[in-house]
Structure 1
Amino acid sequence: MTQPFSSLAEFQALLEQAGGPDGSAIEAAQDRDSHLTKPPGALGRLEDLAIWYAGWRGDAAPRIENPQVVVFAGNHGVAARGVSAFPAEVTAQMVLNFQHGGAAINQLCASVGASLDVIALDLDTPTADFSAGPAMSEAETVSALATGWKAVDPAADLFVAGEMGIGNTTSGAAICTALFGGSAADWVGRGTGVDDAGLTLKAQVVVEGLAANPQAKGNGLEALRCLGGRELAAMAGAIAAARFHKIPVIIDGFICTAAAACLETACKGALDHAVAGHQSREAGHVQVLQEIGKEPLLSLGLRLGEGSGAALAIGVLKAALDCHSGMATFAQAGVADGG
């Protein structure tokens, strides 16, 4: 599908014009939930998730049958500053691993019945070093947003975006600092496993990045352009496209959440069709989830990326829908309603 935007201004307008959930489907799902063979509220958050999902799909008793996971990969010029424990060549090597079925995300997708696509964005051309100026031009950002937009399968009924890109936790930390304030040290984490000296360097690079890109402060799309990477922009484009297709989204870890936060900052409510899959071990993830108002479904100490935590959370959402849509009502089961 051709993307309906050719500039950041047009993408901004698209976010502002996006539709909401189906109110009648929400009411019907709530009514169904009230008649299922369980005490009111006994399934806790699973009930809320089912009703939320039903609203976005326009179906009072839906199931998840075609979940899609897409891993976007990009290289960052800032990696040359030594902010990662691994060299930039690992990005392309991991893309091959994904394609050959050897990564964690391959196994997790298989376990929850999700399709997996892997999209590499110009790996031979890293973004510019954002510590010296904008990471991407507007045209490069729009191109990456468009890649993400077109990656979403309109026939999917749930979407997860994952990422791979050496140096991208530094990018995510820089975006969060620009959007939500605080010190760089509040947002940087160990990423691929840097030592204390590496952590200090990451914070310094983020400070330099904000100084070199003052236009990114508080501006979602400019933060994405100036401090992000192609894979972060692609994730943002895909999350926006899923909203266009009424496809609910599970957000992955720190880097994906930073990309998603650019959308929410650009247009409040842009992530109403999304839930947070998990809380990772990356230092800034808890804080950015709070900033965008998302409570994670899981907290398992993951810090892998690849969409892994969100893919794992597909099982939770599937279970919520199976209970909601598959359970008998009191009338169907011949059980006396406590009400």
Structure 2
Amino acid sequence: TIPEEQLNILKQLGRWTHKHAAAIYGTRAGIPFVNYGGKSALSKDGKTLYLYVYEQKPELQLRGLVNHTAIKEVSVVGDASAKVNVKSENGTVQVDLTKVNFDQDVTVIALTFAEVLRWTAPQDTEVTLKSVLDNKLTGRALGQIASTLHAGKNIFDNSGLTVDGLETKLPSSNATNPTVLKWIKDHAEALYETGKGLPEGHYEGLSALSKDRQTLYLFVEGKPTGPIALKGVKNGVARIRVVGEGSMINHEIFNKLYWSSIPGIIYIQAPAERLDKNMTVIAVLLDAPIQLYREKVGAIENNL
């Protein structure tokens, strides 16, 4: 007999695959992480882009889509009544999710194009500390902070930010967004002298590493629909906590075979009541400077 817990998992998997069959069967490799900071897939004809959303959040952003003006329709797979608006601004496609009923596990957004989707490496737009502080759209400002840190650019170097946020003297003005400023001070340890984040494939989101490379900071947008997964980390985990809030949070490691050099998957439980309403940062303290398991595996080009 199958244990009840495993049976429930199989039932949920069956529910999800039945609901999202169009985004699973006959699909092929999606677009790069630099174009969409998450997992994606393309339909067989290359005219429909499927975006897999693991958090409940207000919007998605896509960059570097050459023919973004050819978008015919945006929909939620498995929910014909959902309303999704999309607009392009300065070369970035913004998908509004504020009216979406999120799936309990993973929501799938489908962008259908009039022609085969084409993309290119997105152009880097200059992000300055002033532009972030003066941005009235808090979510986008924090997204820019996370993106620049993840890419290895720290706009807080020599800015007056302190490691604990106390006695911070950032160049503010009447135009400064007070919510952004407070968030920066509350999460200063994840911003002060931190560097480039994890390569693609280890974490479904943006990240940064401390100067000694022993603390990994995970930026979490919105409300995750399940545990946060961290893959390919060879280190042991000393402790995990919520930055700015201080509390420790639990984690479990699965799929670690004692005879294999492949690390298990670290699943981090992030209680909803401890999440920051704008962007949460999870600090993962390791037992040594981070070591990653990287195995060269060819991408699945066709999921027939």
Higher strand share: 2
TM-score, length of structure 2 as denominator length:
0.28
Relative contact order, higher structure (CA 8 A, sep 6+): 1
Higher helix share: 1
